Amino acid sequence: MIKRLYRARIVLSVAVVFLVGCSVSSGQAQKGSISPTVSPTSSPVSTPFATPVSSPDHSLDRQKIIDQFADKSPTQWGEKVTGVRTRLQTKDKAIALTFDACGGGPAGNGYDKELIDYLTQEKIPATLFINARWIDANPELFQRLAANPLFELENHGHEHRPLSVTGKSIYNIRGTKNVGEVIDEVQMNADKIEALTGRRPQFFRSGTAYYDEIAVKVVNALGMQVVNFNVLGDAGATFNAEQVDQALSQAKSGSIVLCHMNHPEKSTAEGVMKAVPKLKKTGVIFVKLSAYPLE
């Protein structure tokens, strides 16, 4: 059995927030570990790419989990259902920046080099939720990100699907239809990340960030926590730079911010670069999700 443990509001356009962040055309071109008590004094040093390892065989665990949840009927559906973590459990002036890379063809396979270079230069740790399709489209970039100690790479699913045990959909994106498909959506990408990096993800965020509460329990049974956000940082990469700046300025102690790193043609990088220095002046520290317990 697996033992490894580990959100300006848009009204008229809410149905496109995650569609745009992961599906609009990104064009072809790219834009040109801090813990609460540890702060590096030099730029992260590149380390050799991880040697791929064999994927573990989870077939027995899969059937056991299917049997455990087969007769369970969900009553909740959304971004904040029971079991979803949305903030760091701390009163420290710490916030976690998280960036999704959704994949799915040219529309979702972009890489915001300007954003990642800025985070690296300024020694800003972040948690990157990477989809399997993005990994397949950007294998060398993925390995470079994995080798950067500022970043932890987490699980954004195999096909970028809402997580449902009954086939619910959102934003016209079809959700998983049963427990088995939930397991596959989560576990297949976890296996991929572990095989490529030697480290199994601790955290999972679904495509669209929608779940039912039974699907969340399935993710937990697979050894991962479901993590969303309480600050919608770039609204699926639809915000302009000023809106991103304003959104991040609302972050408070323990906030988890959701932005995207797969749309270099958009304004996320510019907005983050406006917001970070101002947040630093207020005493905010930036941490990975793993720096604190989540709630």
Q: Above 80 in pLDDT, residue 20? A: no
Report the range of poorest mean pLDDT among 55-64, 143-152, 167-176, 241-250.
55-64
Q: Above 90 in pLDDT, residue 198? A: yes
Residues 215-233: tens digit of each pLDDT: 999 999 999 999 999 999 9
- Where do the domains of the chain lie? 80-291
- The pTM score is 0.84
Q: Above 60 in pLDDT, residue 3? A: no
Q: How confident is the model at residue 291 (pLDDT cuts 50, 70, 90)?
A: very high
Q: Nearest 5 degrees, angle CA 231-CA 237-CA 241?
A: 80
Q: In this structure, are residues 230 and 253 in contact, taking their beta carbons and an 8 Å threshold? A: no
Residues 103-115: tens digit of each pLDDT: 998 989 999 999 9
Q: Above 80 in pLDDT, residue 18? A: no
Which pLDDT score, from 0 to 100, does residue 59 have? 58
Q: Above 60 in pLDDT, residue 99? A: yes
The CATH class of the 80-291 domain is: alpha beta
Q: What value does the mean pLDDT take over residues 256-285?
A: 98
DSSP states along 106-174 = TTT----HHHHHHHHHTT--EEEEE-HHHHHH-HHHHHHHHH-TTEEEEE--SS---B-SS--EETTEE
Q: Above 70 in pLDDT, residue 186? A: yes
Which pLDDT score, from 0 to 100, does residue 208 have? 97
Q: How confident is the model at residue 61 (pLDDT cuts 50, 70, 90)?
A: confident
Looking at residue 289, what DSSP letter applies?
G
Q: Above 50 in pLDDT, residue 11? A: no
Which pLDDT score, from 0 to 100, does residue 57 have? 53
Q: How confident is the model at residue 21 (pLDDT cuts 50, 70, 90)?
A: low
Q: For residue 220, what are the contacts with CB-CB under 8 A and spacing of at least 6?
A: 83, 226
